[in-house]
Amino acid sequence: MNGLTSRQRKLVYLGGIATLLIPIIWLGMPAGGPAGASGDGMVGQLAQLRQEYDLGEATLGDVDPSSATMNLVLLGMRGIAANALWQNANEQQKTKEWAKLRATVDSIILLQPHFSQVWDFQGWNLAYNVSAVHDRVEDRWYWIKEGCKFTQKGTERNARSARLYSSIGRVVGWKVGESDEWKTYRQYFLRDPDTQRFANGPDPGIAHVDGEIFTDNYLAARRWYEKGNDVQREHPQQRLDASVVHFRHQPSRAQERSAWALQRDGIFGERTRQAWDEAHRLWTEVYGRESFKTARGEVVLNATEADILRLARQEQVDPEIKRQVIDIFRADTNYDYWRVKFLLESQAETQEAHRLLYQAKRMFREEPGRLSVTLVRRTGKTCDAARDEKLSDREREVLARLCDSDRPVHRDEFASAADLSDETLTKLEEQGLLQTVSEIQVKLEDAMAKYEQFLGQSPLVAEDVDAIEDGLLAVLYWRKAHQLHNRPVPTTGYPLEELWKTKPDYLVGAQRLFLREMQIGK
């Protein structure tokens, strides 16, 4: 032992502590340092470096004091505590103790506030799994919102995690808009079932984004995706679940869903056309014109010839190679298909085709009386027969009248005006000189003809599964309209005939859609 007394030893220790504290305090000063001291290269250097390399907790997002306290109190046992909480959460989910599950999940994120996968997983778990086990749709809606709000909180703690914004978009857009209960959810999006709490209005937790009120869940989702894209552009080092090229197309896809949902709701015309137009603009002018840095060089999906030459020159490669690289990415993102689809859908004729089809199908489901055969129309032989000398004058006169009419005429009115008996009409029909049809059949055929035109505009759309199934679905309705009245289904000479005969592989999907629409409507 040395000869120091206890007091002297303590003073030495104190001196040592003070000596060590000086550089720590000096280095640990705020980034700016004391007034007038910045710029000397030493003051606040640690803070400056932390800021430069984004290592400070505050740079990741809001710092929750309770979270920081918890982590300090646990003295390095955070992992064990988090593990125990995850086990509790699983058990509580199994035993359906939802309130406790929610509280446990909140505790988990206090321990792991900057682990974005935790926010992502638990938000998804609440919105998808927990909501699914509830019976009442209001309860399901409540848990979807809980999942959404939870992930929103995650974005506050992890301001640089683009994936969390994307996850919110997924819940607000896809979960709300594509579930079996989509119709109810989209109503709840506008007017929450908790009418007392939200005063007959929407829950801001799901319908508001940055203070802006959205009346369409897909448009709210688009905003979340756009925010995610902004964050990703600002902090490109953050890991994503998809490639950047795929990640960035989400706003335009959400816009596409918004337009599609309008059609599904039976809204056609200028509003829907504009929604498609906006999707086309986003796809071609925003997403398509964005420059992506990839392992194969810079890529612009909607590149002009001048762009290709410029990029090739910058990277000192053959323009043909650059063109091929861009083509690869265009194929990978299905760029051309969506471009054409959005373009075609934004045309008034396409809207008309969808409108006719929607109305015809709805009439089929809701007005079965119109399935009765009440109309008469000409066939391919009618006009020739009107000049046929073998027929009687009376018959020729009747057929000539029918030949002159573009649209079907009412059967009874026609028979009465032409003074024809039922037997004569039946005889003429059996000879193929006229055709008796139902109102729905005519409506469906008009819609099918329009839809055929739509499909014929681009081979890309003609090969799209959804487009094919929708076309086959129309034919299925049309065939059913015949079968319900024990009338033979024509085997040729009807719109969409080629689609019906060349795409039998898609029939199963179309039949499933048919059954679903017949059961719950659309």
Partner 1 sequence: MESNPQSYDVLEALQHWGAIVGVCLVFVLVLSVLVSLLVAKGRGPQRVGRQILDGFRDFADLSPRRNWALAMLTFREALRRKALAVFGVFAVLFMFAGWFLANANPRPELQVGVYITFVLTTIGWLILPVLLLLSCWSIPEDMRARSLHTVVTKPARRIEIVLGRMLGFGMLGTLLVLAMGAVSYVWIVRNFPAPAFDKVLAAADGTEYPVAARLTHRVNVRVTDPRSGETTRFEGPDDLHVVQEVAAAFPDIASALSGELAGLRATRPVLLSRVPQYGEIAFLDREGNPSARGVSVGDEWKKRSYVEGGSRSRAIWTFKDLDPRPLGDTLQFDAEFEAFRTHKGEEVTDPGGIQRFRGLLVQFTFLKDLQRQVSDAVASPGGRFESLRRHVREGDFRRAGTELRSLADGIQKRQLNLSDGEHDKLRAGYGRLAKLLEPFRPRPGSPGDRPDGAGAQADATEAWERLPELVEAARGAERAAAARDAAALAAALQRLGGLFESEEDRLQRELVDLRVPYPPFEMTEYSRRDHVVVPRRLPNLAGSRSGVGAQKAVVDLYDELTHGGELRVEVACLDAGQYLGVSQRDLYIRTPDRPFFSGFSKAVAVDWLKLMLVVIFGVTAGCFLKGPVAALLTFTLVLLGNFFHKFMGELVVGIRLPTGEIKRTGPVESAINIVTHSNPQVPLEEGWMKSIVDVIDPVLLKGVEGLLYLVPDLSRYSVADRVANGFDVSWSTGLLPALMTTLAYFIPLLLVGYYSLKLRELEAK
Positions that interact with partner 1 (CB under 8 A): 65-66, 69, 94-96, 98-100, 102-103, 106-107, 110, 134-139, 142, 180-181, 183-184, 187-188, 191, 193, 195-197, 520
Nearer to partner 1, 290 or 517 (CB): 517
Residue type, 209: V
Complex with partner 1: residue 11 or 77, whichever CB lies closer: 77
The token duo for 262 is 């309008």
> Which lies closer to partner 1 via its Cβ, residue 187 or residue 334?
187
What are the angstrom distances between the C-alpha of 427 and each of 383, 424, 441, 493?
17, 5, 21, 21
Return the amino acid letter for 126: L
Number of helices (H), then strands (E), in the chain: 31, 7
Smallest distance from partner 1 to CB 125, Å: 15
Single-letter code of the amino acid located at 232: Q
In this complex, which beta carbon is closest to partner 1, that of residue 66 or of residue 372?
66
User: One-letter amino acid identity for 196?
Assistant: Q
- DSSP reduced 3-state for 487: coil
By beta-carbon proximity to partner 1, the closer residue of 187 and 502 is 187
Q: 101 vs 499, which CB is nearer to partner 1?
A: 101
Q: Copy the structure tokens of residue 461.
A: 């759309």
Cα separation, 30 vs 37, whole angstroms:
11
In Å, the largest CA–CA distance within the chain is 142
For 10-26, letters b (16+ CB in 10 Å) and e give eeeeeeeeeeeeeeeee
**Nearest approach, Cβ of residue 312 and partner 1 (Å):** 56
- Residue of 303, 283, 402, 400 lying closest to 344 (CA atoms): 283
| Contact (CB, 8 A) for 170 and 257 | no
Cβ distance to partner 1 smaller for residue 80 or 328:
80
Identity of the residue numbered 49: L
Would you call 2 exposed, middle or buried from its count of C-beta atoms within 10 A (0-12, 13-18, 19+)?
A: exposed
Q: How far is the CB of 183 from partner 1 (least distance, A)?
A: 7
CB 322 within 8 A of CB 312: yes
CB of 220 to partner 1, least distance (A): 20
CB of 28 to partner 1, least distance (A): 27
Closer to partner 1 by Cβ: residue 145 or 503: 145
Choice between 136 and 239, CB closer to partner 1: 136
Residue 233 amino acid letter: R
Least distance from partner 1 to the Cβ atom of residue 102, Å: 5
Residue 107 CB, shortest distance to partner 1, in Å, is 7
The strand pairing partners of 293, in sequence order, are 298
DSSP string, 166-177: HHHHIIIIIIHH
Residues whose CB falls within 8 Å of the CB of residue 294, separated by 6 or more in sequence, listed in order: 245, 325, 329
In angstroms, give the least distance from the CB of 412 to partner 1.
38
Count CB atoms within 10 A of the CB of residue 294: 14
Q: Exposed (0-12), middle (13-18) or buried (19+): which is 296, by Cβ within 10 Å?
A: middle
Shortest reach from residue 296's CB to partner 1, in Å: 45
Dist. CA 166–CA 222, nearest whole Å: 9
User: Toward partner 1, which CB reaches closer, 136 or 407?
Assistant: 136
3-state SS, residue 212? strand
CB of 66 to partner 1, least distance (A): 4
Least Å from the CB of residue 87 to partner 1: 12
- State which residue, 421 or 519, has the beta carbon closest to partner 1: 519
